[in-house]
Amino acid sequence: MVTRAQQRQEPSTDHPRLDTLPEWPVDTIAVLVTTDGGPHAIPVSWPVRAGDHRILLSLKFDRGSLARLRERPEVALLILGGGDVALCARGNARVVADPMPTARDYVAVAIEVEAIDDHRQSAFTVAAGIQRTVLDPGELRYLEERVAALRELAAGLD
């Protein structure tokens, strides 16, 4: 006889919380969730930890997610990164550079994190996280330049 999951354990909508954002590898891919009548998720490359409760990322100026977060700044960012990082950062997003100084077709967005849900589990570890390979060397350099610009912005936001 198969035991149903709800018979084994009481369901809960609560997750353990982290007090501060952990470090994650530079090449981490995250998933940004915005809303506009319903949730909408997109992958974002190389989010930058900019303090214990702030994350910076770059979005192309014509992304629908950028328009949505300008209208409704409440967002969630799911990060599954190497080093056993598994979290959902929830908070409010705001544009901090439009355009970015070194990338005229990108906008810098800061997420002021209000809650950090810890999704690590004892049954498994996140060894490498979501992986994607940048195929164009020029695009890789452009991404690295945007990350450097985000780090500079982070220093000036405090």
User: Domains along the chain?
Assistant: 16-119+134-157 (2.30.110.10)
Percent of the chain with pLDDT over 70: 92
* pLDDT tens digits, 33-63: 999 889 999 999 999 999 999 999 999 999 9
Question: Burial level of 121, CB count in 10 A (0-12/13-18/19+)?
Answer: exposed
Its pTM stands at: 0.90
* pLDDT tens digits, 79-117: 999 999 999 999 999 999 999 999 999 999 999 999 999
